[in-house]
Structure 1
Amino acid sequence: MAVLSPPQAITGHAGRTAITALAPAVWGTTYVVTTELLPPGHPLFASLLRALPAGLIALALTRTLPHGVWWGRAAILGVLNMGLFFPLLFVAAERLPGGIAATLSASQPVIVVALAVLLLRERPSAWRTAWAVAGVVGVGLVVLRPGSAAFDLVGVLAALGSAASMALGVTLTKRWGRPKNVGPTAYASWLLTAGGLFLLPVTLVLEGAPPAVDGPAVLGYLWLGLVGGLLAYILWFRGIAELPVTSVALLGPLSPIVAALLGVLVLGQTLGPIQLVGFALTIVAVTAGQWSPRNRRTPVRETPKERNNQ
């Protein structure tokens, strides 16, 4: 009979999960910061400032460089987690209604579940797969609006590509682990710098010269770089190292949920009954996905001799 591990047995897991969940929650602030504080029309420049300066600052503070095979691994992980993920996400947002883009991007946990089986040789978990799908449905109920249905092949492929890019990055991060004696800050600095260096020529080619920056924009870029970039990714990569990768991936839907909540609190948007149901379903899916069903084992009876030796 399958039961869930009792709460007292996962206290440490729950604490680490709560800390890791701060990363996608912070990423959920990106939309309101971008629309309210940053100059319009330069999403790649915002992505560049989210990655490269924070990576270089952390690199200067930790004074730790990759070595050996980690030069290549850091480059690959930086491109997958940031360098490709950010541009593809913005392409999807530009070509698709926001609700559709968010829903397709929320498929990342489902992809991670499949990649964990292929790359990490984990046994497929029907429990987490079901809640990953439920999370996508919940996000869809929250962010989709009547009349928002639209099909754009490039936008759909970009949204799915962004989800696949980060899913593969998360899975490879788990598979390769972290070098011995390298902390999460140094590790995050490698990947942020690699992702930022990849974004630099892409941004210059596609967006040209950077925009004029005023005071609110400076605050927005600082938030995206230091909090949404460096701090969030330190927590995220630490969580990947300490928790099951599918468990971490299932925290991803918190990002669009926080974005929707900030839309209500900051932008005056409203949530109808369907959106509230989707909000509740997503929270339940994220929470339930952190539990691991296990088989109840038949207790072994102790002999009198074993009891006397206790």
Structure 2
Amino acid sequence: MDRRWSDVALTAAAPTAWGTTYLVTTELLPADRPLWSGALRALPAGLLLLALTRRRPHGVWWWRSALLGALNIGAFFPLLFLAAYRLPGGTAAVLGAAQPLLVAALGVVALGARPGRPALLAALAAPLGVTLVVLRPGAALDPLGIAAGLAGTAAMAAGLVLTRRWGRPAGAGTLAATSWQLVAGGLMIVPLAAAVEGAPAAPDRAALLGYAWLGLVGTAGAYALWFRGVALLPVTRVSVLGALSPLTAAALGWLVLDQALGPVQLAGFAVAVIATVVGQLPGQPASNRRQSGAGPSRSTHSGSGPGDNSAAAARGRTKRCAAAGPAAYDSSSIQRTSSTVQPSPARPAISRTSRRPTRVSSS
């Protein structure tokens, strides 16, 4: 498999794991404890990674890690749960599916990265497909729920873009940086959970299994893979993969919970899946296409810069740094691990490029 598509597949595993959250929560975890569920997802996983890596933030990374942890965990989880409780029928998932559009807009402002045409088309089509899958006629449109859903989506989009902009501190492994954000985000949720939900319920065996799955697989592993992808792939393409989360949740609801999927839902599945694939195709921004049309054709490195076609990629001079391996698995503070080199004249640059409504959780 081409290295770029291997990176895409690993990144896609993150939203797929997040798509199991609704099933695990409804079947294994204590009822009516969404905030504690969020805290117990993030904090133990972060502490475990912190113990394994034995690295602490330094300098500006104290506040950067706190901010990124707030955007990706501390604010996102409570807003997500509030939207899910007040917006039945998957409406919250539809709002979450709009994240690629926000990421594309923020990427232009913060990174100067203009997504290519395939990524833009996918950013428009993926929310449409998710809407067909999860949104039911007559779904309630509670204003507070809509505001919470949009705010949560904006928080995650901002965290995604800042991850690319800031990278990670020199000398710090990506797992260490992931742990900082999980601990920061989890600590932010704990006092809110205590104030709103009281003391956490004593977990039984099923709850322990559920928390273990969500903490190790759905949080530590998934966020590491997700932000590894942010370091290696254009952020708009990464955000398009987020549509796999509600699709996975809907599929598990059909397979395990006996929830109905009709022709409209199946058509939405097809649209969303095709959009995620198209969104990973290499593409040039319109300005670069106009420039390249006047001269000889040049190769495009599809995953080398913050956008779908950075200046180095347009010159065909970028390849990945050998350091981008398992240690590149990070949450929100991964640094781009590619370096620019001059290819020799004889060797071109290498491209790496129911019956009851389905409720969907987007992380």
**TM-score normalised to the size of structure 1?**
0.91
* C-alpha contact (below 8 Å) 1:184/1:237 kept by paired residues: no
Please state whether the residue corresponding to 1:98 is helix, strand or coil: coil
Of Structure 1 and Structure 2, the greater helix share is in 1
Percent identical residues: 55
Shift of 1:124: 4.5
RMSD: 1.6
Which amino acid counterpart does residue 137 of structure 2 have in structure 1?
Answer: P
Shift of 1:101: 1.1
| C-alpha distance in 2 between matches for 1:72 and 1:157 | 26
Q: Give unmatched runs, 5+ long, in structure 2.
A: 299-344, 347-363
Matched residue, 1:298: 296
- Aligned 1:29-48 pairs, distance under 5 A: 29-48=20-39
Shift of 1:187: 1.3
Matched residue, 2:50: 59
Matched residue, 2:86: 95
The answer as to 2:215 corresponding to 1:217 is no
* C-alpha contact (below 8 Å) 2:89/2:136 kept by paired residues: no
The answer as to 2:200 corresponding to 1:203 is no
Shift of 1:171: 0.5
- Aligned 1:48-197 pairs, distance under 5 A: 48-148=39-139, 150-197=140-187
* C-alpha contact (below 8 Å) 2:46/2:183 kept by paired residues: yes
Bigger mean CA offset, 47-56 vs 206-215: 206-215
| C-alpha distance in 2 between matches for 1:104 and 1:152 | 13
1:254 to 230, 244, 252: 244
Query: 1:176-197, CA deviations, whole angstroms, 9 ceiling, x for partnerless residues?
Result: 0112232221111011001011
Shift of 1:13: 1.2
* C-alpha contact (below 8 Å) 2:43/2:183 kept by paired residues: yes
| C-alpha distance in 2 between matches for 1:138 and 1:151 | 19
Q: Give unmatched runs, 5+ long, in structure 1.
A: 1-7, 301-308
| C-alpha distance in 2 between matches for 1:240 and 1:183 | 15
* C-alpha contact (below 8 Å) 1:64/1:186 kept by paired residues: yes
Structure with more relative contact order (C-alpha pairs < 8 Å, separation 6 or more): 1
* C-alpha contact (below 8 Å) 1:102/1:139 kept by paired residues: yes
Matched residue, 2:15: 24
Q: How many residues align?
A: 292
TM-aligned CA distance change 1:68 to 1:217, over 3 Å: same
The answer as to 2:287 corresponding to 1:287 is no
| C-alpha distance in 2 between matches for 1:35 and 1:169 | 28
| C-alpha distance in 2 between matches for 1:55 and 1:284 | 34
Matched residue, 2:234: 244
